[in-house]
Structure 1
Amino acid sequence: MQDALMRWYDTHARVLPWRVPPDALAEGARPDPYFVWLSEVMLQQTTVAAVRDYFRRFTERWPSVTALAEAEDAEVMAEWAGLGYYARARNLLKCARAVATEHDGVFPDSEEGLRALPGIGPYTAAAIAAIAFDRPAAVLDGNIERVMSRLFAVTDPLPGSKPELRALAARLTPEVRPGCHAQALMDLGATICTPKSPACGICPLMPGCAGRKEGIAADLPAKAPKKAKPTRHGIAYLVRRKDGAVLLETRPPSGLLGGMLAWPGTDWTEDAPLEAPPLATDWHDPGLEVRHTFTHFHLRLALRMAVVGADAIPERGTFMPRAEFRPAALPTVMRKAHDLAAGAWEDATGD
């Protein structure tokens, strides 16, 4: 099966901007650990399609880990906007600075050394060790979990079955070409052993797949029932000055959207939020509401709008000039509020 998997990968490996293809590896090329690390952080809970453009922009602007370490926090958070899970961006900077200052800009080449860095957990450490340094580390992402559960007919539901799946992945990890092995399993799960309607007929692991033999492959991996997500409520205050400047604040460094630019607003609570406007003015309720889903809850964010004069002094937040404001630099939920309110600014003035 290992030989069949490698033959398949050598022919069908996905072309990804952070990956060194098998033929280039055979000729002596080596992956850039910075590229591998950056892509793995970006890919956590995010699709390859969504990550491609972000990866390209990041590596064009900050082509090395030392360049990223020297970047301003606000610039990195702005480039990350829209990719979600913003704690990853904060940990990205912490890790880059640790590599730059404590390791002379060189990533450790072992799982143990990588796990000592900020924001790098067991999966990411194993992926970097295998892909960047060709260490025989057992990599277990969502695609590989699915392949393992089907290949060995593991019927216990996730997440409880993770330890067993990790042990199975470790058992199959070879000493030769472990980085290609890990990427081959990722590609197999992404293109053939897919969540729905797996293409078993063209799978290189089909002859040894216990799930297929038992007729249960398409039903695996089993998953424990998800708990219903609660709904939280909040208010966002969108303020525009008559010269076009908008009122924004930087959220606290920890917590959801930590360190990101945002519209001033209330806390997000399961009860009705208490009004907390950032300045005293005539507020307009356009009857608009942003709906957004985070990992653990749904959010319903009511909008309040106002247009104020140049002499307005906010109690919190800072006016950003129109020429400097980029809606794309806002996190997704805040950009939704901007887009939703774009046609209602005139109503806020009463004109």
Structure 2
Amino acid sequence: MSSSSASNFATEALNPDGFLVLRPQAPDDFLCEYANPAAQALLGDGLEGTAFLATRRTWAGLRSAWGMTLSTGLRSEQWIHGDPGSGMHTLRIRAARAPEGRLYVWLDDSSSQPPVAAPEPLRDTSALFQAVMQGSTDAIYTKNLAGQYTRINAAGARLMGRTMEEVVGHTDAELWPDEARASVAHDREVMAFRRTFTYEEAQSGHPGRVWLSTKGVLLDDQGRVFGLFGISRDITERKRMEEALHHNEARLQQALSAASATLFDLRMPEGLLRWGPGAAALLGQPSLPAEEPLTALLARLHPEDRMTVAARLASPARPAVKLALGLRVVGARGEVRRLTLWGEARAGDGQEARLLGVLVDMTRWSLAPPSEVAA
């Protein structure tokens, strides 16, 4: 198998299970195109480029099962007990049809006697990779240059509503025909720029899902791109909560507008005042910045009210106090408006003192000097 083709399965080198890529070969045999290190530890070196079943009599019964997998696309699973070349083993052998008529085969050693171990650094790396893959609750996967999944963890397959075998060897277009366009476009962008990007990707259906996907390229030893990796987190519930909060905020703003009211946030030490939507109309101004100094509001007050309001809005002496205050403002056209301010100031525990509350237009009720309002 060429180094270019082998790089498509480079991530399988870290797989502690054996992995083979086989191509049908007449008569009734399979040519091994790729074998990862774990498969070579079980079955011996020199697998690639050889007829696979010709010298394995105990495997002869797999011909019909693998032939059925190739013809129907249904996964197959068999058990074989014997000596595959590294001692007696009981192997679970799973096969799946891959693109271009090939066969992907996974070898899982289920015997009590462990197979011949891979080199220590490789085994440690494989164990760490496998622990991260299978321990994560996010979907972790790799794809080759053709967009086919070459690996996916159990959590990712479960979130997709499929088994790992049903995902590996297939593209997004095959798995999600209606939503694949955006995912494929993101994959191409990652490949083109050779950078890591994060996207939101939606999946319709019942229930629909929203994924936050981080994708980057996989490079071989020569620095050539041979695929991409992805980590996708299901953020469906978070998006639903955001939508609900947005809906509730819209309802709140509608209610405040109907009541001729707005919200405010006064940070006491700095004297900075942040306004909610609708504040400009309430104060008779063509527009207002999102945040302005408290002195700007005081300048708009009726001259008779400024000292009283400034004193009441000073930093409270107590850690927490509720405030209710009537005041008059002069609009940009000289009109006088009567407003009522309700707020609650909090301070202490080393946190900044803030006055949060609501400002309500009471113009239609009266135009009296500022006064304390019963809270």
Question: What TM-score do the two structures reach when normalised by structure 2?
Answer: 0.23
Larger RCO: Structure 1 or Structure 2 (Cα < 8 Å, ≥ 6 residues apart)? 1
Larger radius of gyration: 2
* Higher helix proportion (structure 1 or 2): 1
Which structure features the higher share of strand residues?
2
